[in-house]
A and B are shown apart, each in its own frame.
Chain A
Amino acid sequence: MLAGCNPWGGYNFAYLDEDTKRMVRRALLKAVAIPGHQIPFSSREMPLPYGWGTGGIQVTASIIGPADTLKVIDQGADDTTNAVSIRQFFTRTTGVATTEKTRAATIIQTRHRIPETPLRAGQIMVYQVPLPEPLRVLEAREVETRKMHAYQEYGLIFVRLYEDVVRYRKIATSYNYPVEVNGHYLMSPSPIPKFDNPKMHRSPALHLFGAGREMRVYAVPPFTSVVSLDFEDHPFEVQRWDQACALCHSRDSFLDEIVTDDRGGRMFVCSDTDYCSERRDEGDAS
């Protein structure tokens, strides 16, 4: 199943060599054992720049098998440059089936979104994480942040929320919103909108996070509690929109604002393209 599996030859199955994949999987096992805790791994150079998803690609490459079905999204869409390139990369190096359907996928690699369609047990979400350390903006010393995690000294993250309320009269952080995992570790959920935070709470799917440049992986195992931090008098809230999706008329999904002309015309559509088109197909059928 190794080199002979893909038509391009020369590369191992899923690009990384077997020892590297094993190393990443060992780190992932640790990560699953300690939910939300960042585990160091020796990140490899990948054939794309840092910031384009090197961490997520290494995680996917380490866990993917010939029987998997892969879905890749970027900003919720299956057809954007990054999503297309990463999907093509895995098609070439593994030959596995790809899909745009959330329900059909066994592995979903993502940058910004968790699909609107509820995840099920057995599915794996892989996140591309730029900055795994939620305390880094406030505390530059790695030794110190590790101690803060170990002793659960998380007062500092509330300083960040406090500054938000002072400046904007509410917690304005709208993405990468800090969460507490399994009652202990503070975790950065990567740049997903806070709209998606509640989807992680007790999710039946496995969530794996990979940060290539920062050389960290972490995980939220299935059915683990994920609580978004807040103040008692400024509780956590997700984004809401006044209108429904212009295409599928959904009122429950995360909407993107699209400028349609230079005279102020704009429309709001679902950011999750698969969810939107599925709803439109259903609408046509009925």
Chain B
Amino acid sequence: MTDPYPSVLLCVEELTKFYGRRTGCRNVSFQLWPGEVLAIVGESGSGKTTLLRCVSGLMPPSSGSVHLSDGSGRTIDVLTLSEAQRRKLIRSDFGFVHQDAHEGLRMGISAGANTGERLMAIGVRHFGRIRAESLSWLERVEMDLSRIDDLPSAFSGGMLQRLQIARNLITRPRLLFLDEPTGGLDVSVQARLLDLLRELVEELSASVILVTHDLTVARLLSHRLVVMQKGEVVETGLTDQVLDDPQHSHTQLLVSSILQT
């Protein structure tokens, strides 16, 4: 099989999701290149999270296609994979940081086990190695290493997000999905976390799809923007270009509602 999308990592075409008669998202198409950070912005209810869940294989869309390059010139049709293959792909190639850390973490097991779980899932059976990797990743997300054996239920919101990031990046996924990674955090913690994300993503040269309602977050992290309204894409382009010179009336509304400091 030859690659119809050379050098493109992810190609989403005409993706549509209906919830009964309601529309989640409709006819969304975009492409993602390796190492690129793509932000999906829009107000609450505009279909951002629906889109993210469909693309990442967490939820089947009503129609459309998602193709992923496997890194060696072949293309994987993500939506027609068998369940076993899809789960394996999600486990090894994808990372997913949820807005609500309770969704992305196991609250009943220690922080170190949370980060180590993905290693164990891909077959690492050496305790010392799992432990060392966990420690090194907790260090990279700037967590207090003495907390490695504590339960996540004893952690603050910012720490939970750091732990989620470490848990996902430990297997070096090629594609990282971030769903409002800094939602609900105070501003100083947000700023530090965004810095950290930017550094790590650059270092791993992972591709990222970031969902956010916060244009400041999008401006800081992303290279390109997709603006959504009522389930449809209304504007796409380079982040700076879209934010500095918004064309669509809805984008103009979003940009003008950023608080000026």
Contact = CB atoms under 8 A, between A and B. Distances in A.
A131 to B, nearest CB: 16
Interface residues of A, number: 19
Contact of A153 (B109, B121, B131): B121
Contacts of B121: 153, 155-156
Contacts, number: 57
Contacts of B116: 159, 162
Interface stretch (A55-63, A102-110, A229-237, A261-269): A229-237
Contact of B84 (A151, A156, A163, A232): A151
A67 interface: no
B253 to A, nearest CB: 42
B106 A166 contact: no
B122 interface: yes
A234 B127 CA distance: 7
A231 B117 contact: no
A269 B132 CA distance: 42
Of B87, B109, B127, the most chain A CB neighbours within 10 A belong to: B127
Nearest to B119: A155
A138 B120 contact: no
Interface in B79-131: 83-84, 87-88, 91, 106, 108-110, 112-113, 116-118, 120-123, 125-128, 130-131
A158 interface: yes
A165 interface: yes
Interface string A129-172: 00000000010000000010011010110110011011100000
Contact of A159 (B87, B120, B149): B120
Interface residues of B, number: 25
B110 A231 contact: no
Nearest to B122: A155
A232 B87 contact: no
Contact of A156 (B88, B117, B127): B117
Given A151-B84, A151-B87, A163 B109 contact: yes
A153 B120 CA distance: 10
A167 to B, nearest CB: 8
A138 B106 contact: yes
B226 to A, nearest CB: 32
Contacts of A233: 126-128
Contacts of B113: 159, 162-163, 166
Nearest to A232: B126
Contacts of B125: 158, 230-232
Contacts of A166: 110, 112-113, 131, 149
A255 to B, nearest CB: 29
Of B84, B120, B123, B130, the most chain A CB neighbours within 10 A belong to: B120
Contacts of A162: 112-113, 116, 120, 127, 130
A151 B84 CA distance: 6
Given A138-B108, A232-B127, 5 more contacts: A155-B117, A159-B116, A162-B127, A163-B113, A231-B126
6 contacts: A147-B83, A156-B120, A159-B116, A162-B130, A166-B112, A167-B149
